[in-house]
Amino acid sequence: MTPRVIVLRPRRLTRPPVRPRPVPARPRPVPIRPFPSRRVGSSVLVGPVVEWDGVRGLHIATCDRCADTMTAVSAGRAYRWVEDHECDPELAALLANLTGGTAA
């Protein structure tokens, strides 16, 4: 009996057709309302501001005086936080002392 040899060759793999992924529509930039205490070009720390984080898709409200932050899906909620936010005066003074800024 003669041995039978079967040659196995790897198949050429075909890639599945590439489907274009739908590109999510970029949200319109939200105009940032300056906070009344914001002074550009001075050493005075500014109050809370709202910025858009395009990577996470969130609005971020940040207070430079007390380092408090808040994230929200809607701009309205972030601006409400800015309007209602009250800094802890002792914490703001301590942070201003450490960073060389002026406490508000």
Residue range(s) defining the domain that contains residue 54: 49-99
Domain-located, residue 84: yes
Domain-located, residue 53: yes
Domain-located, residue 5: no
Q: What is the pTM of this model?
A: 0.50
Domain-located, residue 54: yes
Domain-located, residue 57: yes
Domain-located, residue 7: no
Give the number of domains in the chain. Answer: 1
Domain-located, residue 16: no
Strand order in the sheet with 49-53: 49-53, 58-62, 69-72
Could you report the per-residue pLDDT of 14-56, keeping only the tens digit for each? 666 666 666 666 655 555 554 444 444 444 556 788 999 888 8
- Give me 47's structure tokens: 């109050």
- For 67-92, b where at least 16 C-beta lie within 10 A, e where not — what string? ebebebeebeebbebbeebebeeeeb
Give the position of tokens 């041995």.
3
